[in-house]
């Protein structure tokens, strides 16, 4: 009986030690001054969490509180998913990317977004309110929501960048002299798709005042502009379900066509 009693006490002490350790871990991860956590560790700023993320390894950052990033946030060589968890996320200065894969689940406010240097893939699943411009010269920017900008230029693509907006583009410059603004500016190539309406703002396509509107669009359900690059704006006169069906069949036929294509020859130096 005494032996069994000693074993019971030993097990109880081990469980107590583990519970204290676990409670300490929880406290560290959700300290009062932490705004986000990553891999169970809390961070006082988003910048600290991004810096601590392993390069190229997929990392998830979860927000614990409303956050304002007062310094420019520059992301290089990272693969990160951010869950705002319905907390407000504001970038007072530009949010820039270089050679990164970055996804934000939630709405954000920012002074602008740009892909600089090497190609990046940026996805924002929410609305974007910005005082600046979404700029892309390499890589892709996907916005699953509306964009509202108070800058002189809303979307800017130069080179071979791609911007896809699954929503509306709203331009409302704060400066009186900038009345109207430029909703989309394309120069030297690039692709922009707006799966909604451009509620205000002119188009700068290959030069000021250049419309470049095509007589026939290469993309069903969209109005095409092909000066300085390619811009497709959703044609609301065509029902959405027809566009969805068309895209489904197009993707199906493309997949079938690829099956019958001869593979590219391989060489020893490949």
How sure is the predictor about 129, in pLDDT bands with cuts at 50, 70 and 90?
Answer: very high
User: Of 144, 162, 151, which Cα lies nearest the Cα of 229?
Assistant: 162
* pLDDT of res. 203: 82
Tokens 């169970």 locate to 40
* pLDDT of res. 268: 52
- What is the mean predicted confidence (pLDDT) over 44-58? 93
Mean pLDDT of the chain: 84
Q: Where are the domains of the chain?
A: 54-236
* pLDDT of res. 134: 95
Cα-to-chain-centroid distance, residue 13: 49
Residues 239-264 have pLDDT tens digits of 988 988 988 998 898 888 888 876 66
* pLDDT of res. 18: 47
**Alpha-carbon torsion (196, 187, 210, 150), positive or negative:** positive
Residues 195-221 have pLDDT tens digits of 999 987 778 876 555 567 887 888 899
Tokens 């929880």 locate to 26
- Max CA-CA distance within the chain? 94
* pLDDT of res. 31: 62
Q: Is pLDDT of 222 > 80?
A: yes
* pLDDT of res. 240: 87
Q: For residue 183, is it left (φ>0), alpha (ψ between -120 and 50) or beta?
A: alpha
Residues 149-167 have pLDDT tens digits of 999 899 999 888 999 999 9
User: Of 228, 252, 248, which Cα lies nearest the Cα of 240?
Assistant: 248
User: Of 153, 146, 140, 161, which Cα lies nearest the Cα of 228?
Assistant: 161
* pLDDT of res. 263: 66
Q: Is pLDDT of 123 > 90?
A: yes
Q: SS3 of 123, please? A: strand
């Amino acid at each position: 009986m005494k032996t069994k009693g000693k074993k019971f006490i030993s097990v109880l002490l081990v469980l107590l030690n583990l519970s204290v350790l676990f409670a300490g871990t929880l406290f560290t991860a959700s300290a009062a001054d932490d705004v986000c956590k990553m891999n169970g560790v809390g961070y006082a700023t988003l910048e600290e969490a991004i810096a601590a993320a392993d390069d190229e390894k997929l990392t998830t950052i979860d927000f614990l509180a409303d956050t304002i990033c007062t310094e420019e946030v520059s992301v290089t060589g990272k693969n990160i998913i951010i869950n705002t968890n319905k907390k407000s996320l504001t970038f007072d200065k530009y949010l820039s990317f270089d050679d990164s894969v970055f996804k934000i689940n939630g709405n954000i406010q920012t002074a602008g977004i740009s892909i600089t240097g090497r190609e990046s893939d940026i996805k924002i699943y929410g609305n974007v309110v910005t005082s600046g411009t979404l700029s892309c010269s390499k890589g892709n920017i996907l916005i699953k929501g509306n964009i509202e900008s108070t800058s002189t230029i809303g979307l800017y693509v130069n080179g071979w960048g791609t911007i896809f907006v699954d929503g509306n583009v709203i331009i409302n410059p704060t400066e009186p002299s900038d009345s109207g603004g430029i909703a989309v500016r394309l120069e030297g190539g690039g692709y922009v798709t707006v799966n909604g309406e451009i509620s205000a703002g002119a188009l700068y396509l290959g030069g000021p005042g250049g419309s470049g509107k095509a007589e026939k669009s290469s993309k069903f359900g969209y109005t095409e502009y092909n000066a300085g690059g390619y811009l497709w704006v959703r044609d609301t006169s065509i029902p959405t379900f027809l566009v969805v069906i068309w895209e489904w069949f197009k993707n199906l036929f493309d997949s079938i066509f690829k099956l019958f294509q001869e593979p590219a020859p391989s060489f020893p130096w490949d």
